[in-house]
């Protein structure tokens, strides 16, 4: 379980001090998928980086399985906005990278690559892949860690609609397979409604939790076409619009 309590994040000092996140509280249960949504630049990524242990909160605390976060954990995987693939490493080397850095056996990577439709591309470099394939390699790298917690920072950003929906469905399928606790940061309302069991809506910077929408019917690819999906999207849009100009 992830527990974020009274999280406050500030950047800079003196006149350059910027308050990115203020008093954010939420929990993510084991195996639960939560979407964090808010306007661009509101501090969503900062929250994710703090959970990952890359940045230190100014105040508050973050617990994963009851332990305070003090740096990067082996059971937490993180996907950046553009997958962060290293252009000088092949698909296989990129997918194995996290395991290699953590001196863990590299077994199972081939299977994950196949599951993600990357079989046969193991020896290609990222420049030889489509954008959608690159994002899948980023997912494979994170998944290779067999994480308990999966943190995703807009992993479908800047993709065309069909590719984005395909990757959303892949993430959903992987969540059913591995049952990790997922935290997805996005500014796409439909994406949040498709993947989030709970949608946590954040205010413009500094980020605060404005509202939490329960979305218990998500979980199937067809959910995208259901009336409930549209109701959730409409509700989230309404709340986000009400925050504009505040």
Partner 1 sequence: MRQSFHYLAAAFAIFLFWTLMSFALELSRGWPLIPYPWNVAAAGVQYWNQWIAAFASSARRFFISLILSFATGLPLGLLVGASERLHRWFSPLIYLLYPIPPIALLFFLYMAFGVGEMVKVITVSLTLFFQVLVAAHGAAKNISPSYILAVKAAGANSLQLHRHVIFPAVLPEVFTAARVSVGLGITMLYIAETKLGILGGPGAGLGGFIETYAMRTDLSLAGVVGLAFLGLAFYVLLELLERWLCRWKYAGKG
* Interface with partner 1 (CB under 8 A): 52, 54, 72, 74, 78, 80-89, 97-98, 101-102, 124-125, 127-128, 138, 141, 145
The least CB distance from residue 100 to partner 1, in Å, is 8
Separation between Cα atoms, residue 136 and residue 117, nearest integer Å? 8
Nearer to partner 1, 127 or 245 (CB): 127
Nearer to partner 1, 75 or 160 (CB): 75
Nearer to partner 1, 106 or 235 (CB): 106
Separation between Cα atoms, residue 177 and residue 83, nearest integer Å? 21
Nearer to partner 1, 11 or 125 (CB): 125
Half-sphere exposure in the Cβ direction for 124 (13 Å, CA): 13
Separation between Cα atoms, residue 216 and residue 197, nearest integer Å? 5
Separation between Cα atoms, residue 140 and residue 241, nearest integer Å? 35
The least CB distance from residue 128 to partner 1, in Å, is 4
Nearer to partner 1, 28 or 240 (CB): 28
Dmax over CA atoms of the chain, in Å, equals: 53
Candidates 14, 10, 103; CA nearest to 58 is 10
149 within 8 A of 183, measured Cβ to Cβ: yes
């Amino acid at each position: 379980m992830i527990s974020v309590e009274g999280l406050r994040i500030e950047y800079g000092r003196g006149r350059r001090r910027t308050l990115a996140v203020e008093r954010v509280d939420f929990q993510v249960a084991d195996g639960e998928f939560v979407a964090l949504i808010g306007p661009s630049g509101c501090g969503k990524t900062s929250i994710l980086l703090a959970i990952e242990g890359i940045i230190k909160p100014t105040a508050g605390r973050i617990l994963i399985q009851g332990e305070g976060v003090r740096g990067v954990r082996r059971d937490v995987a993180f996907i950046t906005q553009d997958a962060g693939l290293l252009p000088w490493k092949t698909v296989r080397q990129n997918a194995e990278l996290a395991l290699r850095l953590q001196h863990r056996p590299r077994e199972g990577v081939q299977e994950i690559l196949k599951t993600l439709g990357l079989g046969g591309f193991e020896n290609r470099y990222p420049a030889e892949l489509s954008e959608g394939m690159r994002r899948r390699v980023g997912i494979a790298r994170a998944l290779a860690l067999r994480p308990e917690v999966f943190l995703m920072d807009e992993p479908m950003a800047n993709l065309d609609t069909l590719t984005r929906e395909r990757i959303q469905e892949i993430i959903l399928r992987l969540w059913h397979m591995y049952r990790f606790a997922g935290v997805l940061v996005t500014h796409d309302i439909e994406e949040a409604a498709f993947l989030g069991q709970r949608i946590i809506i954040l205010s413009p910077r500094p980020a605060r939790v404005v509202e939490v929408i329960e979305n218990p019917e998500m979980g199937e690819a067809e959910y995208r076409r259901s009336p409930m999906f549209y109701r959730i999207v409409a509700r989230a849009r309404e709340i986000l619009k009400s925050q504009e100009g505040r």
